[in-house]
A and B are shown apart, each in its own frame.
Chain A
Amino acid sequence: MKAKAMEYGEKIHIWGRIWGVLAMLMFILYPTAVSIYYSAWPDAGPLLKALLGVAPVFWTVGAIEAFTFAPMLGVGGSYLGFVTGNLTNLKVPCALNAMELAKVKPGTEESEVVSTIAIAVSSIVTTLVIFLGVILISRIQPILESELLAPAFDNILPSLFGALAVVFVSKNWKIAMAPLIFMLILFISIPSLANSVSIMVPVGVIVAISVSRILYKKGHL
């Protein structure tokens, strides 16, 4: 079984890298095809100007997400999750929930496969739901955009994280307390930070790890 584990652990990196490189090529295919088909290559000036407007922030966020989510999602889950996207609002909670359901410990090979299965299923379902949405768009647009339903979609993150907090914070309240208090004070004092919550995730992670380290050294964890 040990040899097999090595085999799977090694193979998943090879598969992940091949699929990752192919995915990047596929993503570039769309703008390339548009540029060729319509003879409409972008001018360098506006392209660079626009890239400079978004890339510094999004490349930083992407890098932060890679380092924060990889330990949570496991190897297969990370390779797949970073191709299929929608990590914070969908894939990460889905993987955490699945690992909790399967009662597997984070960092084990069992949690690795469970997380990969959850992310794969979630990606497939997301693709199908969006596909159906695109086909039926004229019918569902008035419903989804109705004033009646607007609060429900505005509150999707509180609805998700409220329930997640009960499961995870109650089990790890000693670890959660310091980053929670820190984040509450931070967001209440600087409300505009809500727009850049992804950048605040690593701040929370650093606070959590630092305080946990102190508590652990003092024998409180």
Chain B
Amino acid sequence: MKTFDTNSMFLFTMAGIVILFVLAQSLFFLIKAWKRARELGIDNKTLIRIAKGSAVFTVAPAISIILGVITLSKFLGLPLPWLRLSVLGALTYELPAATTVANSLGVSISSGVTDPKVYSTIAWVMTLGIMSGLLIITLFLKKIQGGIDSIQQKDRKWGEIFNTSIFMGMISAFLGMIFSDITIGITGWIPVFVMVISSIIMIICGYFIKVHNIKWLEDYALSISMLLSMALSIPITNLIK
């Protein structure tokens, strides 16, 4: 049997191959959608704006994902967390999945895995335990889309309201969650204060975009509001705690 190491070149190579595949898929869809957008009459300038805005917006959440990689790497080495958090998963799934396997095998997650069998069990559970969304989308998206289209064809205005209601429902759940700790005292209000600050920064950006016609700001308003309020959460937390 080969010597097992959670950071072996073999594991890095395997993770790298899967990540390259997903990168290729992203590029494929980017090219196809870009071409179709041009055919629909959306100019390159607008498309570049969208791409730049999306890229800048992604950086901060992506850095927070690295934190997830670091957390998991203490137990699983780098390749598996690198793979799992680059594709499909999110820390909110991967950490509980790894912990559950460790518990059921009676292994501690405070030190690195040394047994290849434990490692492969964790890798299997992480993979199979979090596949349903992809499976449903791959098999049934056409049907789901058909249902959405028929709602829209029956009554166009209701179709639009229906769509808006879905994302209002989603945003409401996350906004509600921000208030979940307010009963524990002033520290529980920190996320609420940060949310309010982010809203205020967004409103200020909106003022400069609309009143002073600063067009470039439009593309980065969400990123600026997010980054500034994340930065301001540091002094707010220190002040309150």
Contacts and interface: CB of A to CB of B under 8 A. Distances in A.
> Which of A20, A71, A137, A207: most chain B CB closer than 10 A?
A71
Contacts of B51: 117-118, 121
A221 B161 contact: yes
Interface in B170-187: 170-184
Contacts of A148: 234
Interface residues on chain B, size class: 35 or more
A116 B29 contact: yes
A158 B194 contact: yes
A20 B58 contact: no
B22 A155 contact: no
A157 B181 CA distance: 14
A167 B180 contact: no
Nearest to B145: A75
A216 B121 CA distance: 51
A175 to B, nearest CB: 5
A6 interface: no
Nearest to A4: B39
B230 A102 contact: no
B65 to A, nearest CB: 6
A145 B64 CA distance: 10
19 contacts: A1-B39, A54-B97, A59-B132, A62-B130, A63-B133, A82-B134, A92-B167, A94-B58, A124-B23, A127-B23, A137-B69, A155-B237, A163-B226, A175-B161, A187-B177, A193-B180, A201-B173, A204-B176, A216-B158
Given A42-B121, A53-B100, A205-B170, 19 more contacts: A26-B17, A35-B124, A50-B101, A63-B133, A71-B166, A75-B141, A102-B46, A130-B65, A130-B86, A151-B234, A153-B64, A162-B194, A162-B225, A163-B229, A187-B177, A188-B183, A206-B169, A208-B166, A212-B164
